[in-house]
Structure 1
Amino acid sequence: MDLVEIVKALSHENRIRILNLLKQQELCVCELESILDVNQSNASRHLSKLKHERLINSKQRAQWVYYSINEDLFSEHIFLKNILDELDSLDICQGDNQRLKKYQASGLSCEELSENTLFN
């Protein structure tokens, strides 16, 4: 593992936002797209970088891929856990957290999310 590459992976705002959401719960690409208001290509590119650096894990369920924090890596490197713990203090992450709560309260499933205007 190359710590320099891990730190580089943390240098983009959208990747920080993704990690902030994934520290709270496992999410699929379409959920991340909606909550972060990014397109599929953008979300996939950032997820790919995070996965390449082992910051996140993925799991396929039917046609959806779900992502989660790689707890082992964050436990192994305390400075990464400290960064993760500080994300709640960022304004943009606070807004994302509110949208995540709104999504959770909506009762919508991943399949229904793309048809709904929950965040628009």
Structure 2
Amino acid sequence: MNNIVEIIKLFSDQTRLRILNILYDSEHCVCDLEAVLEMTQPNISKHIKKMSDLNILKKRKQSYWIYYSLNNEIFEKYDFVESILRDIRKEELFQNDLKKLKKYLDSPKSCHI
């Protein structure tokens, strides 16, 4: 069962918000997050684990890759989650992350090509 206090605490961390922003539209692997956030895999994995433990993220394994996405059940349970994620998209930092993601996914460096 999700603990609302822990979920609210989760939103106090900018890195987690940035990850959630990236995952809002579609699933991604950690290498996508590394490229956009310019952080190391262990650092991102620490945040992914925390969010997965709270059942905010789902994962899907395909070959060697694990893809993470938002667990839509969290939106149904807590209305404020989707509201926060929509609102942060108005901020420049989060808009820039989405631009970097698009550029990365279109590049030869992307693991999706």
Higher helix share: 1
Cα deviation, residue 87, structure 1: 1.6
Q: Post-superposition, which runs of at least 4 consecutive aligned residues in structure 1 deviate over 4 A?
A: none
Contact 1:75 1:81 in 2 (8 A): no
Aligned match of 2:39: 38
Letter in 1 for 2:83: N
Q: Deviations over 1:72-92 (max 9, x none)?
A: 111221111101111211221
Return 5+ residue gaps in structure 1 as ranges. 113-120
Paired letter, 2:67: Y
**Counterparts of residues 1-120 of structure 1 (less than 5 Å):** 1-106=2-107, 109-110=110-111
Residue 109 of structure 1 deviates from its aligned partner by 4.2
Q: What TM-score do you get using the length of structure 2 for normalisation?
A: 0.90
- SS of the aligned residue for 2:55 comes to coil
Cα RMSD between the aligned structures? 1.6
SS of equivalent to 1:89 = coil
- What is the percent sequence identity of the aligned residues? 37
Q: Evaluate the alpha carbon distance shift between residue 59 and residue 45 of structure 1 in structure 2; reply closer, same or farther with a 3 A threshold.
A: same
Q: How many residues align?
A: 112
Deviations 1:23-66 (CA, angstroms, capped at 9, x unpaired)? 02100011111111110111100111111111111111111110
Give the TM-score of the pair, scaled to structure 1. Answer: 0.85
In structure 1, C-alpha distance between the alignment counterparts of 2:44 and 2:112, rounded to whole Å: 17
